[in-house]
């Protein structure tokens, strides 16, 4: 398992679709928003948490199609499927590697980029907290979608269409918790819902992804 994780981390960095590209997209969206909505500090601070959550969600999509596609193209996925490691564990490791190269950097970058949107001081901690809770769910859901579309032509477009509706609950509760926390309101309910989505995704979707891989590899 450790060897597979290290291999996926190296592939994500070498392929150019993980760490660097996602962060660049995150930065570009954050920089462009003030040009689009205007420089008013009150407006930017109010919509900032939601904008950063949308940018993080879209940034995670950039590297999802590479999770199994590269292994499928060179035949490594078939070899992995014949190893003693179950495909459910393979899917979970892939999701963890995706989170380490995409979700974690986005979470750490959210606070510095929030300065560009004039976020209030309490908003920074809530934004980082909600992203830390929600981005693992984005990675696991994306891994499930990648398993469904592995081997398909133009699978990246289909993957986005499949995954985006599944991302909506995470986006709603994550952005709402960040907004409520920034405004000093009670954020316990959306935080619990966000944590529940992440826990449910981690518990169920690796099995669904493993089943999808078995079907696609027949």
Per-residue model confidence as pLDDT tens digits over 167-211: 999 999 999 999 898 888 888 999 999 999 999 999 999 999 999
Lowest mean pLDDT, pick from 53-62, 116-125, 131-140, 141-150: 116-125
Write the secondary structure of 30-54 as one string of H (helix), E (strand) and C (coil): HHHHHHHHCCCHHHHHHHHHHHHHH
| Tokens (6 digits) for 139 | 């990675």
- Domain definitions of the chain by residue range: 2-216
Does the global pTM surpass 0.85? Answer: yes
In the predicted model, what is the mean pLDDT of residues 86-90? Answer: 90
Which of 215, 201, 212, 26 has the alpha carbon at shortest distance from 96? 201
Per-residue model confidence as pLDDT tens digits over 11-50: 777 655 556 788 889 999 888 888 888 878 788 888 888 9
């Amino acid at each position: 398992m450790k060897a597979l994780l290290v291999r996926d981390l190296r592939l994500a960095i070498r392929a150019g679709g993980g760490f660097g590209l996602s962060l660049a997209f995150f930065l570009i969206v954050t920089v462009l928003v003030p040009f689009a909505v205007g420089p008013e500090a009150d407006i930017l601070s109010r919509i900032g948490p939601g904008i950063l959550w949308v940018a993080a969600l879209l940034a995670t999509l950039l590297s999802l199609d590479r999770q199994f596609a590269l292994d499928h193209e060179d035949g490594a996925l078939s070899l992995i499927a014949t190893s003693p490691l179950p495909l459910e564990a393979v899917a979970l490791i892939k999701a963890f590697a995706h989170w380490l190269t995409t979700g974690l950097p986005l979470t750490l970058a959210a606070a510095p980029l929030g300065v560009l949107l004039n976020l209030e001081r309490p908003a920074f901690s809530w934004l980082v907290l909600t992203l830390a809770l929600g981005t693992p769910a984005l990675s696991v859901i994306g891994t499930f979608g990648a398993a469904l579309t592995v081997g398909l032509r133009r699978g990246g477009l289909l993957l986005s269409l499949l995954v985006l509706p599944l991302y909506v609950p995470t986006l709603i509760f994550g952005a709402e918790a960040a907004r409520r926390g920034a405004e000093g309101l009670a954020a316990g309910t959306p935080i619990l819902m966000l944590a529940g989505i992440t826990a449910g995704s981690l518990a169920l979707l690796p099995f669904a992804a493993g089943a999808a891989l078995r079907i696609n590899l027949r």
